[in-house]
Amino acid sequence: MRLFSSGLRCLYVIVGVGVVSGLGVAEESEVPERAKAGEAQVPDRVVSESQEEAGKLKAKTLYKVSGPWGDLEYYMIYVTAPDEYLKYWPMPTEVTEWYFGRAKAEDAQLFIRELNISDERIDGEQPSARFFENAGDLILYPNRALVLSLTDEQRQRVAERLVRDPRNRFYTDPVVVESGDPETWFRDAGLNEETVSTLAKLCYRRGSTVLFSDVPYALSRQKTLEERRNLVRAITRTRSLVLRLAVGGGSKMEDIVNYWTAGHKRKDLLPILRSVVEVPEVERIDVVHLLPPTPRMLLYTFPSLASAVTGELKDCHWTSTNFFREVPEGVISEWAVRGERMFAEMEPATGEPRFGDTIVLYERETDRILHSMTYIAADVVFTKNGNSLFRPWVLMRYADVVARFAYGQETVARIFRPTS
């Protein structure tokens, strides 16, 4: 059935049968030539593999690893946005909208039919979708039965198609279930069992990463305002690590001092490292005290509300560039300028990464930059995963960061070292 109103064309489609596969295409940014210098390595060879498989960290478990950084131990925590931030979270409509961009209605109809979605009714409703055309722009409105009826494979295909349009913000920036176990992840976030069961059904995989994008549908299932707020709070939940360094005297301590001071370039750390060694009762020091001023100030925090108002939200590249700066620079919005500035202050490095090195992750086929992070020690990096107000600065295992941004595509990584 076709309806015309105010220049809009509305098409109702009942799902049919067929098969289709889609390819996600991300917008490419121009990559500075210096960013292509140095050895491109398979990501898992850049940093020694973790003792645990990516995503499989266990709660209430202490992990230990030794190396030139000394004897480190770390455990997992969760960082959640403060309650006062939630009122600034752009609450989406509870109606699911899929933007297809400058596509033809016939192409979108074919895409839905060829997903081969079951026509079994859910709560008395048959899976269907409405299409709206406006000046060549196409929007699809799937009903609840269609959203809920998708299999994991079908949901992956939908995600691959929708990630092409930035207006599909929960597909271009999905919720990452970092543990890989959605039921436990959302249950531990304090959600009720009915919501946990629904969200687990709506998750899908890209590569080894478990993702969730159907936020509008999930919100529509919440009965009260408090339940909706709890869901939003759970979406901001981010896993981080707390690192502690074992301290003690002896010749090994000089090696540890050399590592954390970047070859004695950061002499300001010498007093605290040598002071804690002299206190017999102190066996460990939190690594946050060994970080430069800027990351020390930012770790485990969310961007300020003021930065959202001014539009100066920091991302991974700003974070990497300012790691060693005592006074961080402002945000440069133009990538061409920001990219040149970032790589002008670094040089390619080979061998094992050192404290403060920047690791840049690229899409292999296009050399498009996916993410940058700062190496700390062992398999741990300092990172900000996106420029959102609701993305905190955290410590993560390198393999978990790669899984988060690679989404199953082939990637390479390069190491860069500050020139001063």
Query: Which pair of tokens denotes residue 38?
Result: 């140095």
Q: What is the pLDDT of residues 306-333, one digit of tens each?
A: 887 777 788 899 999 999 988 888 776 6
Query: Which pair of tokens denotes residue 262?
Result: 């970047």
Q: Which whole number is the average pLDDT over 122-145? A: 86
Q: Is the pLDDT assigned to residue 87 strictly greater than 80?
A: no
In this structure, what is the dihedral angle of CA atoms 247, 392, 204, 16, given to the nearest 10 degrees?
-170
Of the two residues 295 and 104, the one the predictor is more confident about is: 295
Calpha distance 325→306 (Å, rounded):
21
In percent, the amount of the chain with pLDDT more than 70 equals 82
Q: What is the pLDDT of residues 245-294, one digit of tens each?
A: 987 655 577 788 888 887 656 777 777 777 777 777 777 889 999 999 99
Q: Is the pLDDT assigned to residue 120 strictly greater than 80?
A: yes
In percent, the amount of the chain with pLDDT more than 90 equals 34
**What pLDDT is attached to residue 25?**
31
CB pairs under 8 A, 24+ apart, for 284-289?
A: 284/73, 284/244, 284/245, 284/246, 284/247, 285/244, 285/245, 285/247, 286/242, 286/243, 286/244, 286/245, 287/72, 287/243, 287/244, 287/245, 287/376, 287/377, 287/395, 288/243
**What pLDDT is attached to residue 383?**
97
Calpha distance 156→159 (Å, rounded):
5
Q: Which whole number is the average pLDDT over 231-255? A: 83
**What pLDDT is attached to residue 45?**
63
* Order of strands across the sheet that contains 8-14: 2-5, 8-14, 128-134, 137-142, 98-101
Mean pLDDT of the chain: 81
C-beta of residue 321 within 8 angstroms of C-beta of residue 345: yes
Q: What is the pLDDT of residues 383-415, one digit of tens each?
A: 999 888 889 999 999 988 988 888 767 888 999
Calpha distance 41→412 (Å, rounded):
5
**What pLDDT is attached to residue 173?**
86
**What pLDDT is attached to residue 297?**
95
Confidence of residue 105 (pLDDT cuts 50, 70, 90): confident
**What pLDDT is attached to residue 42?**
62
Q: Measured over all CA atoms, what is the biggest interatomic distance in the chain, rounded to whole angstroms? A: 81
Confidence of residue 48 (pLDDT cuts 50, 70, 90): low
- Among residues 203, 191, 199, the alpha carbon closest in space to that of 229 is found at 191
